[in-house]
Amino acid sequence: MRTTDRSQQLFERAQKLIPGGVDSPVRAYKSVGGTPPFITHARGSRIFDVDGNQYIDYVCSWGPLIHGHAHPQITEAIINSAAKGTSYGASTELEVTLAEMISSAMPSMEMVRFVSSGTEAAMSAIRLARAFTARDKIIKFAGCYHGHSDGLLAKAGSGIATLGIPDSPGIPRGYTENTLTLPYNDLNALEQAFRQYPDGIAAVIIEPVAANMGVVHPAPGFLQGLRKTTADCGALLIFDEVITGFRLAYGGAQSIFKIQPDITCLGKIIGGGLPVGAYGGRREIMRMMAPQGPVYQAGTLSGNPLAMTAGIITLRLLSEPGIYDRLEESSAILESEIKSSASKHGICLQTARIASLLTVFFTDSPVTDYDSARKSDTGRFARFFNLLLDGGIYWPPSQFEAAFISLAHSREDISLTASVIDKALASL
C-alpha cells in the first residue's frame, strides 16, 4: 500500500514558502487530486519518493530523459565536466561540437544559438522572425504551448483570426495583440488570417506534432500547407520541436514529415535533461543575431559546459543504429495493450501516439484539435491517474500531457504497466 505521509508534510511546508507548493504548476496535482510525491532519486525507468515508494516513470522529466534516469555514460560525463568547473561565462569547444551535431541531424538549422530553456528559444525565435521580416504579427495554434513568454500566453476566437487577449493576469494587452491564435489542423483559418493581414504576419509557430494538449497528429497535408502558405506570403515557419526534436526521430518531426522550417526551437533533450534550449535556422536569418547582426539576445548560462557535455553524449547514444526502432516497439506494445484492455472492459477512450509519445484521451470521439481534446472526461482521467499511481506507475498528472517511453523501459516494465492499466480500466 502506497504511503504519502512524508510527501504530505513536505507539501505543507512547501506551500508556506513556494506559491502552490511547487515550482511548476502541473506538479501540484490540482487536476488529479491527492498529494504529489516528493522524489529523492531515480535510476533507469524508475523514480523513488521520500515515503519509500517506487514508480515506473512515464514523465521522464517531461520528455528529455529518453535514455532514462541517471544513464551511466551521461552522469559520468557530467561529473567529469563539473570537476573542471560548472560555468565559465565564456566560449568552449563543447558548444561548437554540439552545434555541429544538431546541424548535421537537422540540416534546416544551418546556424544554432544555445539558450537555457525552451521558453527562451521560442521567445528569441519570434523576435528574430519579426526583425527578419519587418512585420509584427505572429500566428500560433490553440493548444500548442511555446513557453511562458508574455507574447505567447494569448488566446483568441476559434475559426478565424482575432486579436490576442492575454491568457494570464500580469500581461498587458499590448504584449499579445499581435498574436493570432488559430485552431490546430485548420488550413482555412490560416489562409483567412493571411488574407486579413497580407503584409503583417512575421511567422507561424507550431508544434509539428502537438504534445501539450495531449498528442494530436497533424492532419494529412496540414504541415505542407503551412510551409507553402508561409513561403508564398513572405512569412517564416517556426517549428517548436522542444518535445519532438530527437524524440520522434534523430532529425525530429521535420525529418519525418520532410519539411524544412525556417527556424527550429529545441529543448532539454539536447542537454541530457539539464537546463538548455536552442534555436536555429537558415544562415541568412541567423546572421541577424548579435553580435553579427542587430537582434539582441544573451545569456550567462547559454552554452553551459555541463549541459553541452550531457547533450553531446545524449545525441551520440541516440545516433546508434536501431535506437528508434527499440522505442517504437516498446511504445507500440503499450498502446496495443491499452486498446485491448479498454475494449475488454467497455471503456470509451482514444489513444494518440507517434513514436514514443502517447496520450490516453477519455473521450469517444477522435481528437484533432484543442476543442476536441477538451471534450475528454477529466474526472475519469483523474481516477485513472490515481489508480496507476497506487499501482506504482507514474503517469503525467494531466489529461492534456503526453506520456514518454524511454530506452530504459524494459519489456518487463511495459508488461507490468499494461497489467496495472488493465486493472485500472476494470475499476473504471
pTM for this predicted structure: 0.95
Catalytic residue among 268, 324, 369, 413: 268
Q: Please list the residue range(s) of the chain that carry CATH number 3.90.1150.10.
A: 5-70+322-427
Report which of 256, 274, 281, 395 is spatially closest to residue 338, judged by C-alpha positions. 395
Task: For residue 7, give the nearest of 19, 21, 17 by alpha carbon.
Answer: 21
Look at phi and psi of residue 233 and say left if phi exceeds 0, alpha if psi is from -120 to 50, else beta: alpha
**Angstrom distance (rounded) from CA 152 to CA 175:** 9
Q: Which of 29, 145, 197, 324 is catalytic?
A: 145
Distance separating alpha carbons of residues 293 and 287, to the nearest angstrom: 6
Collapsing DSSP states into helix, strand and coil, what is residue 203? strand
Instruction: Quickly name the fold that domain 5-70+322-427 has.
Output: Aspartate Aminotransferase, domain 1 (3.90.1150)
Q: DSSP letters of 19-36?
A: GGGSSSGGGG-TTT-SPP
| CA–CA separation, 110 and 262 (whole Å) | 10
Active site residue 145: yes
- Check if the beta carbon of residue 28 is closer than 8 Å to that of residue 36: yes
Report residue 380 CA to chain centroid gap. 24
Check if the beta carbon of residue 392 is closer than 8 Å to that of residue 420. Answer: yes
* Cα 177 from Cα 278, distance rounded (Å): 26
Q: What is the pLDDT along the chain (428 residues), one digit of tens a residue?
A: 899 999 999 999 999 999 999 999 899 999 999 999 999 999 999 999 999 999 999 999 999 999 999 999 999 999 999 999 999 999 999 999 999 999 999 999 999 999 999 999 999 999 999 999 999 999 999 999 898 877 776 653 322 333 344 566 777 777 778 999 999 999 999 999 999 999 999 999 999 999 999 999 999 999 999 999 999 999 999 999 999 999 999 999 999 999 999 999 999 999 999 999 999 999 999 999 999 999 999 999 999 999 999 999 999 999 999 999 999 999 999 999 999 999 999 999 999 999 999 999 999 999 999 999 999 999 999 999 999 999 999 999 999 999 999 999 999 999 999 999 999 999 99
Phi then psi dihedrals of residue 359, to 5 deg: -130, 140
Cα 387 from Cα 135, distance rounded (Å): 50
Please tell me the distance from the alpha carbon of residue 110 to that of residue 89, in angstroms, as a whole number. Answer: 24
CA 143 to each of CA 74, 358, 381, 428: distance values in angstroms, whole numbers, following the listed order: 33, 16, 18, 27
| DSSP classification of residue 359 | E
Cα angle: 379, vertex 382, 386; to 5 degrees: 150
427 Cβ neighbours under 8 A, 6+ residues apart: 383, 387
User: Does the active-site annotation cover 344?
Assistant: no
| Domain over 72-318 is classified CATH 3.40.50.11720 | no
Q: List the catalytic residue out of 240, 262, 369, 413.
A: 240
235 vs 138: CA distance, rounded Å: 9
Q: Which residue has the cell 536552442?
A: 278
Tell me which residue of 331, 336, 357, 381 sits closest to 215, measured CA to CA: 357
Distance, in Å, from the CA atom of 354 to the CA atom of 151, rounded to the nearest integer, reads 29
Q: Which segments of the chain belong to CATH 3.40.640.10?
A: 72-318
